[in-house]
């Protein structure tokens, strides 16, 4: 059964949504067979596939190449295409054209954009064009030059309040799902209960509606000297990639992952 946006929305509140990145045809097949709910063709491919230092240099055409490879596998998972840096920052018209390419040429089911308040108008325009949108708050890697590093967001009172306001404003603008990256557990719990849309976390603790991992991290092949705290290598102790993917899904659904050891407090 093909998973749709309403199907994912109905899972709100159960903490069972499994999401993973994939960037090519065989991985998308494996992810689908493991019954992952959502596959993200993430701009993290700039780093984990293409070897760049950050996500900023990947283009719409490069992303599209990978989105097509993923959708060629006809995964039952909902396919979300990540809008890369500058593809939705210039004006609404360019944003619509770029998002439309991911849907029309790439055959993605939805797109993801980073940022809060300042993305409201773009999100409204995408929704008006019948393109479902996943928001992305917390640590937003496309803002790396402003943030100054990859670290936990929303620790102080002011930033915490700002994140709560931004999350609500993304939902009000029409975003159908939210990805929340690297925030302390109590804040992600508060955002998850504030919103009616599903919140899917990475480095956001166990209280969100679901979890996402970058597949290279999940399989222990991300070339990082020291993986971040929220990463778990599911291939360790598994007899195959297929077993590792299924273990991840089961760990999310049975609420065994993320544990305290993978959570920021």
Q: At what angle do helices 92-104 and 120-128 cross, to 10 degrees?
A: 50
Chosen residue from 5, 8, 18, 43 binding ligand KIV by CB under 6 A = 43
Q: Is 181 in the site for ligand KIV (CB under 6 A)?
A: yes
**Of 98, 195, 95, nearest in space to 137 by CA:** 195
Residue 259's CB is within 10 A of a number of other CB atoms, namely: 12
Q: Label residues 224-247 b or e (16+ Cβ within 10 Å = b).
A: eeeebebbbebbeebeebeebbbb
Helix (H, G, I), strand (E, B) or coil at 92: helix
Catalytic site residue from 171, 181, 190, 207: 181
Determine the interface stretch with ligand KIV among 42-50, 61-69, 94-102, 103-111 (rule: CB under 6 A): 42-50
- Whether residue 105 lies in the annotated active site: no
**Touching ligand KIV, residues 60-99 (CB under 6 A):** 82
- The alpha helices in 108-219, defined as continuous H runs, are 120-128, 144-147, 157-173, 185-194, 215-218
**Touching ligand KIV, residues 204-223 (CB under 6 A):** 212, 214
Determine the interface stretch with ligand KIV among 24-32, 36-44, 59-67, 218-226 (rule: CB under 6 A): 36-44
Binding mask 108-137 for ligand KIV (x = CB under 6 A): ------------------------------
State the residues that interact with ligand KIV by CB under 6 A.
21, 40, 42-44, 82, 181, 202, 212, 214
């Amino acid at each position: 059964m093909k998973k749709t946006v309403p199907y994912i929305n109905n899972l709100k509140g159960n903490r069972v949504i499994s999401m993973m990145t994939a960037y090519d045809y065989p991985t998308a097949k494996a992810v689908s067979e493991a019954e992952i709910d959502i596959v993200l063709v993430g701009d993290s491919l700039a780093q984990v596939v293409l070897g760049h230092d950050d996500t900023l240099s990947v283009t719409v055409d490069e992303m599209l190449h990978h989105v097509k490879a993923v959708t060629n596998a006809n995964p039952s998972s909902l396919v979300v295409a990540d809008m890369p840096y500058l593809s939705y920052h210039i004006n609404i018209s360019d944003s619509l054209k770029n998002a439309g390419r991911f849907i029309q040429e790439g055959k993605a089911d939805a797109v993801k954009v980073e940022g809060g308040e300042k993305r409201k108008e773009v999100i409204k325009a995408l929704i008006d064009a019948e393109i479902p949108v996943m928001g992305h708050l917390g640590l937003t890697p496309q803002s790396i030059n402003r943030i100054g590093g990859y670290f936990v967001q929303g620790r102080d009172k002011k930033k915490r309040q700002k994140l709560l306001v931004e999350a609500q404003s993304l939902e009000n603008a029409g975003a159908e799902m939210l990805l929340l990256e690297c925030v302390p557990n109590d804040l992600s719990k508060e955002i998850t209960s504030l919103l009616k849309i599903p919140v899917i976390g990475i480095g956001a603790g166990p209280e969100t509606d679901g979890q996402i991992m970058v597949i290279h991290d999940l399989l222990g092949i991300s070339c990082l000297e020291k993986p971040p705290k929220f990463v778990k290598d599911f291939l360790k102790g598994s007899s195959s990639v297929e077993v590792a993917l299924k273990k991840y899904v089961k760990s999310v659904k049975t609420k065994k992952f993320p544990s305290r050891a993978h959570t920021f407090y």
